[in-house]
Structure formats: C-alpha cells, structure tokens
Structure 1
Amino acid sequence: MIARGPGLSIFWQTLLLLLASIAVVFVVTVALFVWSPPPRPDFNSLSDIAEALSGRRIPRERSWKVLVVPRDEGRHLQLRPERPDFEERQRERRLSVVEHPAPPVPDRDMVSSPAFSIRLADRIGVPVDDVRLYFEPDQSSNLPFRTRGDRRVIVRRGEPLFFDTVVAGLRTESGWRVVRTPPRAWIAPWQKRALMLFGISLLVVIPFAWFFARALAKPIRRIADAADRMGANPQAPLITEEGPAELRVTAHALNRMQQRLSAYLTERTNMIGAIAHDLRTPLARIAFRIETAPDEMREKVQGDIEQMRAMIAATISFVRATGTVNRIEPVALDRLLGDLAAAEEEVGRPVALGPVEPVEVDGDPMALRRLFQNLVDNGVAYGGGVEIAVARHGDEAEIRISDRGPGLPERQLEAMFQPFERGEPSRNRATGGIGLGLSIARAIAQEHGGSLVLANRIGGGLEAICRLPIRS
C-alpha cells in the first residue's frame, strides 16, 4: 500500500473553485460598469425626421453659453453650443427612406399627434396636409405591460424625441416619400460588449475547471481500474492512496478489503491443497490391501484408485497454479508461442502457427506457457489439431487458439471453465483430462490482468480467445 501526502477534500476543492469563479465574474462585472460606457437609449428627434423627408439640413434651436478663450493679445469672447446636437451622436437605428405611391399606413398601436404633425410641416415648409406622422408611445415596447392611459413623448428643449418606431411621409410630385425606423437589432452593441466580457471571464475560468476536473477524475479512474484488477485477481497490487481526502479513504477501504479477500482465498486454497494431499495416504493403503482381492475386483478398484489419484494430482496442481504469479518480466508472446508450436511439431502433434504479430506483455513466462499449453492440449484432444494466431487490438494482445472439432453448445461455453467440467461427460482418462485445464488457464489469464473466453468458429470448430494487456 502506497500512501501519499494529505490533500484537500473534494468539498474544499469544489468550494475554492466556486469562490474563484464568483471572484472572476465579480471582477468582470466591475470592469463592465467602470470601463464600458452605459448604454444610451437610441431615439430619433423631430428634426431627424424632417431632414430625412426633405433631404436637407434643418436648422435647430440651440442653447448657447459664453466661453472666455485666452489669446496672446488678450481675452476674447466666444459663443459655443451648451450641448452637442442630438444627431451628432452615433445612431444605431438610422431612418430608412423609400419612395412609395401611397401614403404611409400606421402599424398597430401607433398613434398620431396633430401638434407634432403641424410642427413637422413647419420644419419642412409644406402644408400640414402633405405630411403624415405616426409613432409608438414613449418606450411602450419596453414596458412590462402595455397601457392605454397616458401616451406621451419626451420633449427636450422643445424637440420631441421618439424612442420607438416612427413612420412619417411627405407628399411629393411622384407620390410619397416615406421614412421608417428600422427594427431593433436582436443584440444591441452594449449587449455584445457585455457578452464579450462574460465570454472572456468564461475562458479564464475554463482552464481552472479543466485542471480541477482532471485532478479529481485521475485518482477516481485509477481506483476504478485497480478495483477491476482486484475483481479479476485478488493478488493484484494495492491501490495507491492519493488524491482528495474522500478518495484516499475509499482507496484505503478497498485495500483493506483486498487484503482480507486475499487472505481468505489463500486460506481456502491451502485447505483444499492439504485435503487433496492427505487423501494420498488412504488411497495408498486401499491399493495395498486390494492386492489380495480377486483379479476382477482388483482391476476395477485399481482403476478407480488411479482416477482418484489423477484427480488429486490435478487438484494440487490447480491450487499451486493459482495465485502464484510472482515473477513479472517482459514476455514476447510471438517468441513464446513460436517455441511452443515448434516443440509440439517435434513430437508430431498437429499444431500450426498462423499469423503472429510481435507483441510484448508483462507476466510470468512459465505461467503464460502453461496457460497456452493447456489450451493447445484441449484443442488437440477434442479438435484434432490447433492453429495459433496473435494480433494487436488497441492496448491488448489477442491470442486465438483454434481447432476444427465439433464445437460446443453456446450455453455450455462458459460452464467449461468450472473446475472438473468436461465437454465429454465421461471420466474416462482415455478421452481427456479431469476438467481443470481451462480453469487453470483462465486463472492465469486473470492474474495477468487479462481474460479468456471460448467461442464457436464460423464453419465449425472451437477457439479459445485470450486477451492480455500489452506492455507499456
């Protein structure tokens, strides 16, 4: 068990990230109020409408103040407008001008004012019957609810200001010249600035959130991988206790559970091995005492005794083979399987080597050789011969040992890995073993962090598929 230094708990890490995010948003909000100019309501004055209809500059009323301007030869008086004209600011909703054969028609909720129409006709210098002026009440579209009560227009220094849609027309020789306020933009410029600043704040927070999520997910992923390895092999290395406090507590609890599970399995395995070993003595006495029995009875009893001895030997071998992977080193599977196939061919067994990719795994060479030897023995015994192939699939090596035998029913494939389970139901030694070869093979594969399954081949036959993690 490896324990790292204490770290902040998930609660405090999450709280700090939340406080940092709030601080960033607060700074951006303050910057938005301090450095960004406040949005000014856009409007069109009566003079703007008159200029758009007439196509010429309309004189406007101005208030003036006296400024004293110093010069080299003395003081001079200069008149300057007290405030800049309304039209000098940058407009967001400039009036559009079109020629139309008919007079303008007001939109819904638009009203008209005779006083404003008279003033507009005076500004242009035409009869009042030659102009039309319709407008929405002062900012009615921005109110939370519409009212039919007091409909007013803001008048500043004698100049009516229209903040909402305005439609005006001027009779000309060819028809009517119509001006209209264009529709408001879906996002105003000041809203774009605010969204941009909040987007910048989001980009500032994202890296911190990413690092936090990565730092939190990394130990969780390691715990999940270690728990998966522990489920396959109780002798797997313990989990490193690191990360936030909650994850270190979880890793410690899993390590204690793994230690208890490993001790329990070791005790059970040793007990089974001891029982199997102790059964040899009474079997030897039975074999000695049966020597005086009649020949017919002696041969039958001797056959049972030999079968029991084989089962005991296989059980002891199974106990010794599981949980004993202690030497871990790089193993070249292509070389190991090539040597195994060559050794089988030397003794005349039908074992062929198919396509084999060079691949290395971490493991015990003797245990892995026993794993593949058991699979080859099963394939030769029940399928008449095998073919060995190795391929890479992502970060795993896939070893296929295939035969052309009769195969097995699908429901029986997983049951073959149970101890003492045989595809051939009789216990005759001449037709196979006692049913521990596949159990031992799967145990070795799991102890190496891999898996072993059986599958029927297309066209007939059975194949054992073993997957082992490739060496980093």
Structure 2
Amino acid sequence: MSRRSLRALPVFWQILGVLLAAVVFAQAAGIAVLFISPPPRPQFNRLDEIAETLAGGSHDTQEHDHDRDLLTSVQAGAPMPRPRMVAEPPLTHMLAERLARPDGQVRLYFEPEAAKQPFRRWPRQPVYRRHGETIFFTPLIAAVQTPQGWRIAQTPPPPLIAPWQRRMILWFLISIVALVPLAWWFARALTRPISSFAAAADRLGSDPLAPAVTEEGPAELRIAAHALNRMQSRLADYVGERTAMIGAIAHDLRTPLARIAFRIEDAPDAVREKVLGDVEQMRAMLAATIGFVRNTEGERMRVPVDLTALVMALIEQDRDLGRDVSLASSAPAIVLGDPLSLERLLQNLIDNGIAYAASVEASVRREEGVAVVTIADRGPGMPAELLERAFQPFVRGDPSRNRATGGIGLGLTIARTIAENHGGTVTLANRAGGGLDAVLRLPLAP
C-alpha cells in the first residue's frame, strides 16, 4: 500500500494502526531487553567470606565479581540488629568456629529469605545452602569482639535503582525516543489536511471566489471537502443567476427611460424639468447598479499590488482635479488582488470622504500580516446606527437624496464587496473631534 493510500484511510483506521504499531514496537523493545541485556546477577555473601572479612582479610572481588562487598568498621559496643533481622544460634556457632572464637564474642544477624522473598521456593529456610556452604542473599550484620572493640562487617545499603533496573529504564527511554518521530509524523500527517481544510473553509467564508478546497487526506476530510466544494459551486451559481438577473433588468430599463425622456420634450417646462431630473437620477442608479453587477461577476486576476503606490497614485490624480487629498503616513504593503478592482475600492472611499468633507487624509500601515488603509475626513460623521447600514445597497449618509452631497448609495457597497472578494473588510468609525474613518484591511501577500 502506497503512502498516499495510507493517508486516504479513515481517521479511525489510521489511529488504530498507529496505536497497534506503538504497542508492537514497545513489546519488541521489551523482548529485546530480555535477549540482549544480561540478566541481573544475584548479590550474595558466603559464610567463609564473612569470616575472612572479620578476621582482617578481604576476599578477591575479581574472582567473585557477583559478590556483595562488606563494609567494615570498629566500635566499642556490640552491634544491634536492624528491623526484620534475626539471629540463628547454629549459624552464629558456625561463624565462631571459623573465627576460632567463643560464641559469646561473635554476632550474626540477617534477614530471613522468606521475609525478603515471600514467594521463594524455600520459604521455610532462613538462608540458602548449597553443597554444605551457607549463602546469604539478604542484608546481614556480622561482628567479632577484638581488643580494640567490636569489628563489624555488614552489607551496604541497597541502591535506590539497581544496575539492571537502570538498564531497563534506559531501554524504555530509548523505545520512547524512537516512538517520538513516529508520533510526530502521524500527528503532522493527520493535522495537515485538517489545517488545510480549515484554512480553505475560512477563505471561502471571506472570499466567495476562493479556489476550491483540495480533496485530500483521510476519507472523512475528503467527503467534507467534496461537500463544501459542491456547496460553493451551488452558491456561486445561485448568486451568479441573481446578479445576472439584476444586471439584465437594470440594462433593459434604460430603453424605457430613454423613451420617457424623448416623449417628455413636448411637456411644459416645469413638468419636463422635474421628470427629466427623475430620469437622470434613475439612469445614474441603473449605471451604478450595472457597474456593481459587473464588479461582482467573474473571477479577477490576482497579482501582487503595492497598496502604498496605488494610494499615492490616486492622491496625485485627485490633486490634479483640485481636491484636497493628502497622505499622512505610509508603510510598504503588498497584497494579492486585482489592481483595477482595488483602485475602484480606494477611489470610492476617497470620493465618499470628499462628498462630505473639504479634505481627506490617507494612511497605510501594517498590522500582524494585514495591510490597513485608512481614509479619514473631518466631515459631519454618521450616526452610530448608520455605520453598518451604510454598506447596504442604496443606503446613503445623507437621507435627503440630494445628489450634490453624494451618489445613490452603492459606493460603499461596491467597496465592501471588492474587499470581501479579496479576503478583507471595510469598516466605518466616527473620529474623535468629528469626521469619519473608512478603514480597509487586506491580508498581506505571503
């Protein structure tokens, strides 16, 4: 099975497969420990070695590398047994004989085998004997009385972690470290298509003309991506049909308006001027509607656009027309989009500010991967309840419908539509001290 086929499996089978692989790998590591690592050697002390140590000698640790070394010391009084230690007179007598001392000058305390290992095969024997030799696997204290005091030999305290336990821990750590790349690869392979799907769905929410979601990854994601692409196609067809219908109606209405304007020529001047004024207003509305429809249909090119250069070019054009438009501040800001559409967007915002104020200030800045263009004026501003409604078609800041103070109410609608088609937003906000800020936010080019 190819790598691509594995990624196409449902998430359930992918997770189950990785868990089974992890279990098999962990068990294989444990089996490898059993066969590769040497078994733990038992630590013990023979009775004759204890006697040799008490007599002042030391047994050869190289010959008995599995033995437990005894710690020796001298003290005034006889040693006391530790908890769980016992004394067996026969064993004490055997040690006294080997030291050639009376039993009263010898002490031997040890932990019974049964107390240390309750499931040992010889639970009734306190010590282990082999070929007549007594062997102690448990901690012990042995002592003999000398002129300098009691000479004591005792087993050192057991380490917190035995050598064989350290080896086991090391193997487990190695197996965990070996599993980390597998877990990282699986998590990345599983989350990458999910992240791509989420990003594509987010782009679709802000840009209806965004590319279709790539149908890849587990079966569940491919089904969801296919359903999302079908929904996007149906929505695009639905919006396209309604937009085309509005455009056709607006286009066809121009002919009866032309006939009305022709036939009203013979009417009295007072009537003719009023009717012609209404006809011109309707023509302007139809022209704006057709422009709006043309702007929203079809997918535009997406090329790198320098917003700062575009704003400066528009300012120069407006200055040539005698408008008071200036650039307050600027920063490099490159976005992906249609230059003509973005130019129309910015020009609509500038025209909207000029319609209600004597001057307009523009600024361009960057904020966390977003280019922000602000078109600010010192006009009358807007009521708070109208700041959002102003983006609806045919809603104007001046409700008098006086064309001297603005258009027909499609400029901001067109501006927001273009911004949304580029994955951005346009908002309005009243300025402190009077005026209005039109703020355009567009994602910077990667």
TM-score under structure 1 length normalisation: 0.77
Ranges in structure 2 where 5+ consecutive residues have no aligned partner: none
1:417 touches 1:442 (CA, 8 Å); kept in 2?
yes
Quote the offset at 1:268 in angstroms: 1.7
Give 2:288's aligned residue: 314
Quote the offset at 1:87 in angstroms: 6.9
Amino acid at match of 2:200: A
Give 1:89's aligned residue: 65
**Are 2:336 and 1:362 equivalent residues in the alignment?**
yes
Secondary structure class of the residue paired with 1:42: coil
1:419 touches 1:436 (CA, 8 Å); kept in 2?
yes
Q: Distance in 2 between matches of 1:154 and 1:459?
A: 99
Q: Distance in 2 between matches of 1:372 and 1:138?
A: 92
Give 2:351's aligned residue: 377
Secondary structure class of the residue paired with 2:5: coil
Q: Distance in 1 between matches of 2:93 and 2:384?
A: 96
Give 1:268's aligned residue: 242
1:420 touches 1:435 (CA, 8 Å); kept in 2?
yes
Secondary structure class of the residue paired with 1:108: coil
Quote the offset at 1:55 in angstroms: 3.9
Quote the offset at 1:306 in angstroms: 5.0
- The 5 A counterparts of 1:74-113 are 88-90=64-66, 94-100=69-75, 102-113=77-88
> Residue 262 and residue 100 in structure 1: after superposition, are their counterparts in 2 closer, same or farther (change >3 A)?
farther
From 406, 413, 421, give the equivalent of 1:447: 421
> Residue 459 and residue 21 in structure 1: after superposition, are their counterparts in 2 closer, same or farther (change >3 A)?
farther
> Residue 46 and residue 386 in structure 1: after superposition, are their counterparts in 2 closer, same or farther (change >3 A)?
farther
Secondary structure class of the residue paired with 1:391: strand
Give 2:173's aligned residue: 199
Give 1:136's aligned residue: 111
1:404 touches 1:461 (CA, 8 Å); kept in 2?
yes
> Residue 240 and residue 133 in structure 1: after superposition, are their counterparts in 2 closer, same or farther (change >3 A)?
same
Quote the offset at 1:230 in angstroms: 1.5
> Residue 215 and residue 295 in structure 1: after superposition, are their counterparts in 2 closer, same or farther (change >3 A)?
same
Secondary structure class of the residue paired with 2:310: helix
1:6 touches 1:245 (CA, 8 Å); kept in 2?
no
Give 2:5's aligned residue: 7
Q: Distance in 1 between matches of 2:165 and 2:242?
A: 72
2:52 touches 2:58 (CA, 8 Å); kept in 1?
yes
Q: Distance in 2 between matches of 1:96 and 1:456?
A: 88
2:51 touches 2:99 (CA, 8 Å); kept in 1?
yes
Quote the offset at 1:229 in angstroms: 1.5
Q: Distance in 1 between matches of 2:157 and 2:394?
A: 84
Quote the offset at 1:244 in angstroms: 4.2
Secondary structure class of the residue paired with 1:352: strand
With 97-106 and 442-451 compared, the bigger mean Cα shift is at 97-106
Amino acid at match of 2:113: D
Amino acid at match of 1:10: L
Secondary structure class of the residue paired with 2:113: coil
Q: Distance in 2 between matches of 1:208 and 1:272?
A: 57
**Are 2:360 and 1:386 equivalent residues in the alignment?**
yes
**Are 2:213 and 1:239 equivalent residues in the alignment?**
yes
Quote the offset at 1:264 in angstroms: 0.8
Give 1:37's aligned residue: 38
Secondary structure class of the residue paired with 1:397: strand
Secondary structure class of the residue paired with 1:417: coil
1:333 touches 1:361 (CA, 8 Å); kept in 2?
yes
Map Cα deviations across residues 391-440 of structure 1 (whole Å, 9 max, x no partner): 34454433333345565677764444333444455543333334332322
- The 5 A counterparts of 1:145-156 are 150=124, 152-156=126-130
- The 5 A counterparts of 1:278-293 are 278-280=252-254
> Residue 37 and residue 331 in structure 1: after superposition, are their counterparts in 2 closer, same or farther (change >3 A)?
same
Secondary structure class of the residue paired with 1:7: helix
Secondary structure class of the residue paired with 2:365: strand
> Residue 236 and residue 104 in structure 1: after superposition, are their counterparts in 2 closer, same or farther (change >3 A)?
same
Give 1:69's aligned residue: none
% identity of equivalent residues: 52
C-alpha RMSD over aligned residues: 3.9
1:139 touches 1:163 (CA, 8 Å); kept in 2?
no
Q: Distance in 1 between matches of 2:415 and 2:307?
A: 16
Quote the offset at 1:251 in angstroms: 2.6
Quote the offset at 1:344 in angstroms: 1.9
Q: Distance in 2 between matches of 1:137 and 1:180?
A: 15
